[in-house]
Amino acid sequence: MTNRYSRQILFPPIGQHGQERLSSSKVLIVGAGALGTASAEMLARAGVGKITIVDRDYVEWSNLQRQQLYTEEDAKRKLPKAVAAKNRIKDVNSEIEVSSIVADVNGLNIEELIKGCSLVMDAVDNFETRLIVNDAAVKHNVPFIYGACVASYGLTFPVIPGETPCLHCLINHLPGQNLTCDTVGVISPIVQLVTAYQVTTALKLLTGHPVSAVLKSIDIWEDEKAEIKLDRLKNDDCPTCGSQPTFPYLSFENQTKTEVLCGRNTVQLRPGITRNLSLESLAQYLADKAEEITVNPYLMSCKLEDYRIVFFKDGRALVHGTSEPTVARSLYNKIIG
């Protein structure tokens, strides 16, 4: 062990033994956006031995405001985020093993990705993927540290299989699930604060310390903070962590389906999560970002970039102007989350 970690080893709750545990740990980071890049850098500097970063997207100019591992050159080259993040992390700490996977996390690949991991860091941009990762983490008894932020507001909660409620237990208790950075924006300080809580929880777990089932909620702009104990929300009938688990989000029928409509240059998306969209609120969020917005009791239609997108109250959407499911899914997640 070099003196690279000397200040961390001097911290009694970690010490030499804890540092050795960190060096033998393997962490999967799902998503390489704002939270993912910040977590990756903190964990790399802390000496976590193996870090795997998985993300489906590439670096864009709008990422540079808050996604701290990326440079203008990455955006010019449109490098995949997972690749660009790995390149920077290797410059930060050449002693650890870092791998990157350019992929869309889903129920078909998550169990292979999670195999052998010490814990999973949540840094995804939509709630359906979180539920997929939650199912896999609970199924394979791997801690999963939920984190999310939008505007100036953030949340974090540790899912410890067999001890705490899982994300499925909490799905009806978490606010702001339909807000995204593309609709209401985000400031970088809330990213750093949520990451600090997530990584602190990770360090505790990886070095053998207990954590509590506490949801941390922060609005850094309004200077508001709340901590809520959620241990009583663990549901024995939960299909993910209950007494008879079925892990529903690992099954194909509960994942978002994309269908290219023949001859129409249109992709239809049907989400695996039951949604009840407020079409009026969605139109308000998009008022200064989209054009030609139309709302009626049944649907909301708008023009965004080069695409016409139609949303229905149940969460279904039609993306006109593309026959590429990946393009349609990316647009959908940017707006709906």
**171 pLDDT tier (thresholds 50, 70, 90):** confident
With CA atoms as reference, report the closest residue to 11 among 46, 48, 39.
46
User: Per residue in 100-112, pLDDT tens?
Assistant: 998 888 888 999 9
* Percent over 90 (pLDDT), the chain: 65
User: Per residue in 124-164, pLDDT tens?
Assistant: 988 888 999 999 999 999 999 999 999 999 999 999 999 99
The pLDDT of residue 289: 86
pTM of the model: 0.81
Q: Does domain 256-336 have CATH number 3.40.640.10?
A: no
Please identify which of the residues 181, 238, 241, 302 carries the catalytic annotation.
181
- The 3 state secondary structure assigned to the chain is CCHHHHHHHCCCCCHHHHHHHHHCCEEEEECCCHHHHHHHHHHHHHCCCEEEEEECCECCHHHCCCCCCCCHHHHHHCCEHHHHHHHHHHHHCCCCEEEEEECCCCCCCHHHHHCCCCEEEECCCCHHHHHHHHHHHHHCCCCEEEEEEEECEEEEEEECCCCCCCHHHHCCCCCCCCCCHHHHCECHHHHHHHHHHHHHHHHHHHCCCCCCCEEEEEECCCCEEEEEECHHHCCCCCCCCCCCCCCHHHCHHHCCEEEEECCCCEEEEECCCCCCCCHHHHHHHCCCCCEEEEECCCEEEEEECCEEEEEECCCCEEEECCCCHHHHHHHHHHHHC
- Is-contact 177 336, C-beta < 8 A? no
User: Per residue in 1-14, pLDDT tens?
Assistant: 458 999 999 999 99
* Percent over 70 (pLDDT), the chain: 95
The pLDDT of residue 2: 56
Beta strands 119-122 and 144-150, pairing class: parallel
Q: Where are the domains of the chain?
A: 3-250, 256-336
Instruction: Name the residue with tokens 């688990």.
Output: 245
The pLDDT of residue 253: 63
**216 pLDDT tier (thresholds 50, 70, 90):** very high
* Average pLDDT for the chain: 91
- Is-contact 157 64, C-beta < 8 A? no
CB neighbours (10 Å) of residue 223? 8
Query: Rounded CA gap, 302 and 97, in Å?
Result: 45
Assign a CATH topology to domain 3-250.
Rossmann fold (3.40.50)
Task: Check whether 122 has a pLDDT greater than 70.
Answer: yes
User: Per residue in 296-309, pLDDT tens?
Assistant: 887 899 998 889 99
181 is annotated as an active-site residue: yes
**187 pLDDT tier (thresholds 50, 70, 90):** very high
User: Per residue in 217-241, pLDDT tens?
Assistant: 999 999 999 999 999 999 999 999 9
Give 47's contacts (C-beta < 8 A, 6+ positions apart).
Answer: 4, 5, 8, 19, 22, 23, 93, 95, 96
Stated length of the chain = 337
Question: What are the angstrom distances between the C-alpha of 239 and each of 166, 233, 243, 313?
Answer: 10, 14, 8, 25
